[in-house]
Structure 1
Amino acid sequence: MTMTSAQGAQTGATPESPAAQGFAMPAEFAPHDACWMLWPQRPDTWRYGAKPAQQAFVEVATAIAESETVFVGVNDEQYENARVQLPDHVRVVELSSNDAWMRDVGPTFLTHPDGRLAMVDWEFNAWGGLQGGLYFPWDKDRRIRTKIAEMLGIERFVAPVVLEGGAIHVDGEGTLLTTEECLLNANRNPDLSRAEMERLLCDTLGVEKVIWLPRGCHLDETDGHVDNLACFVAPGEVALTWTDDEADPQHAISREALAVLENATDARGRTLTVHRLPQPGPLHIGEDEASGIDRLSHSHPRRPGDRMAGSYVNFYIGNSVVVMPLLDPARDDEARDLLQALFPTRRVIGVPAREILLGGGNIHCITQQQPRP
């Protein structure tokens, strides 16, 4: 498996891996220069022409913009609408996409000790391609990373492996968290073994140890992205979605993950402290919510009564804020208090996020941090 830089891709040159050159992926809780988002408009993902979702995205962007610069990429036909709705200090740029999941279609940023910023350009196949993918085509999504590299004038490492940003979490000190359900799924990279995938992650992201959780959240349509189940909140500390209801399928998934985490050590040899965040709900799609979505043969069906993979772990860590989804009035305050205790130097902002969840993800899924080199 070969990795090329954007410059070398034209000639077939094979430079050293990012890690060999000194690049690494920082933790999300490390300082940022910016946050990148995309504007929702796809009618088979977002109900009622995406108007309710757009309002939720505006609230997320506004909250993060208290902490750092926010860029929102917009298709040309929605540019004026987005510019009017978003605050003036949020930067709106024309950046065409097939849908609005910047975590997965955007770049994974890398930093170098000498102050350089670079990015990884993974392959993207809409979470499974023609074997369970969520929509077709995804041609505009695949160009987003190249365009952002051009905008920022940074090196782009082309990694010939299908991987979405929501499938990985790092602690910035050599440890990566992921799930077997996603990264080893036959609809992503069927020819790669676990050992080969692990080597590629280390070479690309500058990590030294991969902790594999078995599965992602129950009915997560991304095939088990880790960012909906568990994430690093500090070196040696992990937040994990949890339910005490043994009859809920999520209980067994969280219990499996807890066993792995409690028996693991990170790249520095530390045992992990696991903080349990309550699961909202369970949450299901309402009749009125399903009726507002265009039903197309090539898109993921969203039916009344379908359970959604709601999780409070799907939050964004900004420089001075943590932006969390509000999903369940019975659990929101408890989750907010737990997150505030985990991030005492940041202000936790809750944003009504059911409209984002109806599209299949949440706040972490629609954001991508640009680290400060």
Structure 2
Amino acid sequence: MKMEGTPAVHGYYMPAEWEPHSQCWIGWPERPDNWRDNAVPAQQVFTKVASAISKFEPVTVCASANQWANARSQLPENVRVIEMSLNDSWFRDTGPTFVVGKSASCSGTPEPKVAGIDWNFNSWGGIDDGCYRDWSHDLLVAEKILAIEKLPRFQHSMILEGGSIHVDGEGTCLTTEECLLNKNRNPHLTKEQIEDQLKAYLGVMKIIWLPRGLYGDDDTNGHIDNMCCFVKPGVVLLSWTDDETDPQYERAVEAVSVLSNTTDAKGRKLEIIKLHVPGPLYMTEKEAAGLFQEECEAKPRLAGTRLAASYVNFYIANGAIIAPQFGDQKWDDEAVRVLSKAFPNHEVVRIEGAREIVLAGGNIHCITQQQPRVSLSIVNNDCFHA
């Protein structure tokens, strides 16, 4: 059901990621020009991620017709596998941004309390700057997911990826200027106009803009989900490094300055928890050689390229933190310690081998999309207009 108007007008807002989920959506990797060795190593790690999340909430994996049987054979039986055409498997960015409602219909009968935003998508930058040249299948992913779930759909012409926003569920949105103000997204919109759209579609009241994202995150032009996220209202995790010679240090210090000198939508000063990045890590000759890059449709991935690896790129499941591990023992262990302290009521689950995901340009948060769970008994006096 396509909705007219904006989510906020209908009483919808984007909840925080730690609020209850009904399920998690994940795509299935296969393209050989972005996932090395015909995506076999990546599929093994995606299976680990899906399996881990499925212990805490239902999981649906979407795979192409060519890959459905392969995905079904690798994934545990409690994971639903459905067929869907994909250009690639980054469901944080191509799937819908789910919003929850606060209203009842004028008749007094509770209406659906979950809906989705179907943003426009241009492969993180379009023909000239994007990650691949054909994204026609990805443009339909959000619409298909919402149709499967029979949920209301808000369509927006603005180009926006889910990894470029984080919310606290209480009116505050985190993002980066490097991404949302990039000329390869919405050059016809001013910063103020983009803010207005985020407020109208996410139901937020305040946007906190960090200047830049994680160093080396060129694929997404600095998505916030590699750089900074909310732990709870008033508390954020920030990708940090103690190495002052690391280019990430300047970005982290810059972010601390912004975060320390602002308040959230409720007027709270922000507590900043520093989460050290691994490495630095670089793509090896062997890893690059495993990609089919002759006449490829995807952005080339070259040996020696610094990987945009970040422990902030985790998934919050119902009662668990699904955390990437990169084989850097010191910082892997430190990340688990920090996350365990930040989320004392969650079990931190390590996903070994998450390097396979970052080789292709993202990590666990990037490949997942949570669908919130909302009780129909929670209504107010607003009317719901279809």
TM-score, length of structure 1 as denominator length = 0.96
2:381: which partner in 1? none
Residue 74 of structure 1: aligned partner: 63
Match of 2:356 in 1: 355
What's 2:331 paired with?
A: 331
Q: Equivalents in 2 of 1:366, 1:145: separation in Å?
A: 14
Task: Tell me the secondary structure at the aligned position of residue 365 of structure 1.
Answer: helix
CA distance, structure 1, for counterparts of residue 341 and residue 128 of structure 2: 42
Matching residue of 2:227: 229
Who is 2:249 aligned against?
A: 251
- Identity rate of aligned residues, in percent? 52
Amino acid across the alignment from 1:206:
G
- Shift of the alpha carbon at 1:98? 0.4
Q: Which residue of 2 aligns with 1:141?
A: 138
Corresponding residue of 2:377: none
Residue among 16, 23, 34 paired with 2:12: 23
1:260-275 counterparts in 2 under 5 A?
Answer: 260-275=258-273
Q: Deviations over 1:257-286 (max 9, x none)?
A: 111111110000000000000110000001
Match of 1:369 in 2: 370
Q: Out of 143, 163, 178, which is 1:181 matched to?
A: 178
Residue in structure 1 matched with residue 209 of structure 2 by the alignment: 212
Question: Residue 60 of structure 2: SS of its match in structure 1?
Answer: strand
Q: Deviations over 1:75-114 (max 9, x none)?
A: 0111111001000001101111000100000000010124
Cα distance in 2, alignment partners of residues 74 and 17 from structure 1: 31
Task: Pick one of 282, 285, 302 that aligns with 2:283.
Answer: 285
Residue aligning to 1:341: 341
2:85 aligned to 85, 96, 112, which one? 96
Runs of 4+ in 1 over 2 A off after TM superposition: none
Give per-residue Cα distances to partners, 1:319-345, cap 9 Å, x unaligned: 111001001222100110110011111
The alignment's C-alpha RMSD in Å is 0.9
- 1 CA distance for matches of 2:19 and 2:302? 39
* 265-274 or 296-305, larger mean C-alpha shift: 296-305
Alpha carbons 2:34, 2:291 under 8 Å: kept: yes
Letter in 2 for 1:145: A
- The gaps in structure 2 that reach 5 residues or longer are 104-111, 375-386
CA distance, structure 1, for counterparts of residue 140 and residue 78 of structure 2 = 26
Letter in 2 for 1:169: H
Change (3 A) 1:79 1:297: closer
Partner of 2:113: 116
Superposed displacement of residue 49, structure 1: 0.4
Structure 1 residue 297 displacement after superposition: 4.4
Counterpart residue identity of residue 17, structure 1? T
Structure 1: gaps (5+ residues)? 1-5, 9-14
The alpha carbon displacement at 1:359 in A equals: 0.7
Equivalent in the alignment of 2:197: 200
Letter matched to residue 254 of structure 2: E
Q: Deviation per CA, 1:210-232, whole angstroms, max 9, x where unpaired?
A: 00000011110210000000000
| Alignment match, 2:153 | 156
SS of match in other structure, 1:110: strand
Give 1:242's aligned residue.
240
Shift of 1:298: 3.2
Q: Distance in 2 between matches of 1:361 and 1:274?
A: 23
The residue type paired with residue 51 of structure 1 is V
Give SS of 2:330's match: coil
Equivalent-residue separation in structure 2 for 1:226 and 1:142 (angstroms): 22
Report if aligned partners of 2:119, 2:156 keep a CA contact under 8 Å in 1: yes
CA distance in structure 1 between the partners assigned to 2:316 and 2:332 by the alignment: 17
**Equivalents in 2 of 1:113, 1:18: separation in Å?**
11
Q: CA deviation at 1:365?
A: 0.3
Distance 1:113 1:162 in 2: 26
The one-letter amino acid of 1:262's match is S
**Cα offset, 1:74, TM superposition:** 0.5
Counterparts of 1:189 and 1:307, CA distance in 2 = 27
- Residue type at the aligned position of 2:308: A
Q: Is the 8 A contact 2:117 2:154 kept in 1?
A: yes
SS of the residue 1:233 aligns to: strand
SS at match of 1:196: helix
Q: What per-residue deviation string (whole Å, max 9, x for no partner) do you get for residues 275-327 of structure 1? A: 00011000000111000001034311111111011100000001111001001
Question: What are the Cα deviations for residues 122-169 of structure 1, in whole angstroms up to 9, with x where unaligned?
Answer: 000000011310001000000111111110111100111000000000
| CA contact 2:125–2:131 (8 Å) conserved in 1 | yes
Q: Distance in 1 between matches of 2:297 and 2:251?
A: 29
2:2 and 2:155 in contact (8 A); partners too: no
Give the total of aligned pairs: 362
